[in-house]
Chain A
Amino acid sequence: MTDVADRTRRATPLGLLRRHRTALVVTAFLVLAVVVALLTGGGQTGRDATYDPDNAGTDGARAVARVLSDQGVELDVVRSAGALADAGAGTGTTVVVTSAEQLGASTVERLRRDTAGATVVVVDPGPALLDLLGLPGSAGDADTEQPVAASCDDPRYAGLDIEVDGATRMPGDGCFDDTLVTVDDLTLLGAPQLLTNDQVLRADNAAVALRLLGQQARVVWYVASYDDLVGDDGVDFWSLVPDWVRPGFGLLVLVVLALVLWRGRRLGPLATEPLPVVVRAIETTRSLGRLYRRSGDRGHAAATLRAATRARVRTRMRLGPATDEQTLVRDVARHVGRPEAEVADLLAATARPPATDRDLISLAAALAALEEEVRRS
């Protein structure tokens, strides 16, 4: 019974839902999580990105940008590598690069080409970007919770302190505990929070920011974007994992191969059995039945069934094989107490063959019932 119930449940769509309930719930949650992640995390490239000149939030840099333009600096905000090229940043221009983590090999190359002659300030470059810029190495975190003095020979920052929540030391020697390093025309800013709206007023952050960016008459503010990357720029997966993982993975493949060779070798050939042909004795009779069915010869089937019943009834009533049919019908009718015509209709070889399959079934059932009656009475 349970088997049948199972099968019906499996057949309906509702049953399908019920069977895979857990899988469906898990899938729904996954889809939801991906959508939420896309909606929230993916929004960093817009105007509300960190250090964006149009971002009025706590981590934006709108205050600095506004003050710069109020002070008469020509400020162009570009948001793609193409726009940066069009901006024609050259000598006499400061290029500020924010969202620097979104730079790749090709965009860095374009940045260096399109800003030849200009002063480039890269805000918060990561280790990967430093590699791309040809300045590898990072000296770790700087302690900037307390005001840090410039302590360098750059006259612009003499006597100024910065104070931000967190900063990174840049490679090379520089100011403010190496968080601001200048190499040729490239300036690396490892304490980017001094540009943000909510920290620009701490210590002398604002002064440092303006002196850093406002040295020249024109500022091109380049907000980098992943959209400009080409195919193989993305961060390589293998560059993120420890270097022994890749050969270790190869070794594991070899281990699996050895496992397969070990388990796959049988101890000797398969044992085979010379199988006998299985023939059921009833097979020929069943095929004969199917043959009758296909030809739909109801007359023949009915005649066979009647003859069989006649033979059995004859034996049962001890009438002998020589008894003719009329005598048999008469005796049977008398024996079971039924009208002679009715019994003749059932038993006689001359009776009408059934017209439909249903008639044939009822005839067969009636013959069986008649035999039963003869046996009991």
Chain B
Amino acid sequence: MALTGRTPLLVLLGLVAVLVRPAGSSVWLWLLLVLLLCGLDLLLAPRPSSLSVVRRPTGSVRTGHPAESLVVVTNDSTRTVRGVVRDAWQPTAGATSNRHPIRLAPGDRAGLTTPLLPRRRGDLRALGVTVRLPGPLGLVARQQTIDVPGTVRSLPPFESRKHLPSRLARLRDLDGRSAVRVRGQGTEFDSLREYVRGDDVRSIDWRASARTTNVVVRTWQPERDRRVVLVLDTSRTSAGRVDDVPRLDSAMDAALLLAALAARAGDRIDFVAGDRRVRSRLRSAGRRDVAATLQDAMADLRPVIAEADWDALAGAVQGFGRQRALVVLLTPLEPSAIEEGLLSVLPTLTRHHRVVLASVRDPELDRLAALRETIDDVYDAAAAEQAVARRRRTSELLTRLGVDVVDADAQRLPPALADHYLSLKAQGLL
């Protein structure tokens, strides 16, 4: 039950009665009259349960991009129903104008569209549809909240996609279509063609040139159909925020850029995310829209306050197949976490695969180490230097174990990782 604005006005109208008959009893009589009218109105008000409310699926949208939620309200009763409907979402779903006036004849239906603007990654839930139907006098309304489940999947924003064109251009350079070509151990022979100025003279095929009047060069194309396995760590260390963005989100950005690039290069992408257990797993057989699939797989991942179980994650990597692959571990370079968890499984991984560790570095650490104004600053700087030194030692240790470490700021990690991938590809090290 809910009152409307007319009820206080009706009570206020009692002033006339009081002026006509100035006595305390007229107030009580008037109140009784108002109560009677309200009770009557409540009895006559249509029941919210006479409406059926259905939500249409909302689908997925990139974080920060608008979406719409459609709720269809049908009047199942035999009376005309008017009132207001509120479609409530959790605040970060950004449901702004979510109150809809309705007026439905018997059997009528209306689609109520609530604009959404997700501000947070993940599955954002609808919290229920509240229906408020006033009675014929408009004094009192019946109100009920109906649970109409619904979610909007807010995908990782993939802000690093702006780096994709430049990396794709460099990938084409590797393809042998351009003048700049790199020879490598693992590059595959493609075809013979006429020499043009600018080609590497080392790639001239003398035997073929001898048979023709022109100088002929060999062309290679980079290896194709390699495997890239992205391992996303969602454990406690990924919860830490760098410039108010969780490390996990920055790692996702880097993973998406690499996946988009590798898919264009003709490689197959596998993806596994987990902490204590595997949270998400995705096999893609070299599809081109792998970034979109991956975004969907990543959407509802969130950091878990638990230590990562690298045995389980390494097992998942091996489970994708025994073919040699580029395994990209997206985990922060946290010395203690790595020494206790990752180190024990690294030898198994490096024996079969090429392993790269991509970590989000915190620029705040360098700022803290450089600030030396007060005694507090100096002690903080000492702590920061300590942390930097330990990271460096861990990084050296990993390098010695045959792991490439890409450690960069949140903004620079995606292009840095893509560049590392391209250089590996150019050298034929995949």
Contact = CB atoms under 8 A, between A and B. Distances in A.
Given A258-B11, A279-B239, A368-B372, A305 B381 contact: yes
Contacts of B428: none
Contacts of B382: 289, 292, 300-302, 304-305
A311 B384 CA distance: 14
A259 interface: yes
Given A251-B30, A265-B2, A304-B386, A278 B127 contact: no
B22 A293 contact: no
12 contacts: A247-B22, A251-B11, A251-B30, A262-B3, A268-B88, A269-B127, A272-B90, A276-B246, A281-B240, A289-B380, A301-B382, A305-B381
- Size class of the B contact interface (CB-based, 8 Å): 35 or more
Interface in A196-241: none
A316 B389 CA distance: 16
B374 interface: yes
Interface string B17-57: 01100111011001100000000000000000000000000
Interface in A290-305: 290-293, 300-302, 304-305
B387 to A, nearest CB: 5
Contacts of A135: none
Interface string A120-161: 000000000000000000000000000000000000000000
Contact of B8 (A262, A302, A311): A262
A278 B3 CA distance: 41
Interface stretch (B64-72, B180-188, B321-329, B363-371): B363-371
A72 interface: no
Contacts of A247: 18, 22-24, 26-27
Contacts of B370: 368
Interface in A347-367: 357, 360-361, 364-365
B27 A280 contact: no
A13 interface: no
B154 to A, nearest CB: 13
Contacts of B24: 246-247, 250
B130 interface: yes
B247 interface: yes
Given A311-B392, A361-B378, 5 more contacts: A271-B90, A281-B240, A283-B240, A286-B368, A308-B369
| A interface SS class | helix
A66 to B, nearest CB: 51
A195 B30 CA distance: 54
A289 B379 contact: yes
Given A247-B27, A265-B3, A357-B375, A282 B386 contact: no
Given A254-B31, A262-B5, A290 B379 contact: yes
Interface residues of A, number: 54
Contact of B132 (A255, A267, A272, A308): A267
Contact of B91 (A273, A305, A360, A361): A273
Nearest to A368: B372
A293 B379 contact: yes
B362 interface: yes
Interface in B104-147: 127-128, 130, 132, 143, 145
Contact of A267 (B18, B23, B143, B386): B143
Contacts of A254: 11, 14, 27, 31
Contact of B368 (A265, A269, A285): A285
Interface string B345-380: 000000000000000001011001110111110111
- The 8 A-B residue pairs with the shortest CB-CB distance, nearest first, are A268-B130, A281-B240, A289-B380, A244-B22, A308-B385, A301-B382, A289-B383, A288-B383
A291 B368 CA distance: 15
Interface in B142-192: 143, 145
B344 interface: no
Nearest to A356: B375
A274 interface: yes
Given A244-B22, A281-B362, A271 B378 contact: no
A289 B376 contact: yes
A244 B388 CA distance: 81
Nearest to B374: A361
Contacts of B30: 251
A254 B387 CA distance: 67
A307 interface: yes
Contacts of A3: none
B299 to A, nearest CB: 15
Contacts of A273: 90-92
Q: Which of A271, A277, A307, A308 has the most CB of B within 10 A?
A: A271
B242 interface: yes
Nearest to B305: A277
B12 interface: yes
Contacts of A244: 18-19, 22
Given A267-B84, A293-B375, A308-B369, A279 B389 contact: no
B302 interface: yes
B15 interface: yes
B51 to A, nearest CB: 15
Nearest to B144: A268
A265 B143 contact: yes
B241 interface: yes
B89 interface: yes
A42 interface: no
B236 to A, nearest CB: 8
A280 B131 CA distance: 42
A296 to B, nearest CB: 9
Given A304-B385, A368-B370, A292 B379 contact: yes
A271 B376 CA distance: 42
B283 interface: no
Contacts of A41: none
B7 interface: yes
A364 B143 contact: no
Contacts of B411: none
A254 B89 CA distance: 35
A360 B389 CA distance: 20
A365 B247 CA distance: 32
A261 B3 contact: yes
Contacts of B372: 361, 364-365, 368
Contacts of B242: 281
A265 to B, nearest CB: 4
Given A278-B241, A285-B383, A248 B132 contact: no
A305 B145 CA distance: 62
A70 interface: no
B385 A305 contact: yes
B4 interface: yes
Which has the most chain B C-beta neighbours within 10 Å: A242, A258, A301, A357? A258
Contacts of B8: 255, 258-259, 262
B3 A250 contact: no
A365 B31 CA distance: 79
A267 B383 contact: no
Contacts of B375: 293, 357, 360-361
Contacts of B383: 285-286, 288-289, 291-292, 304
B264 interface: no
B281 interface: no
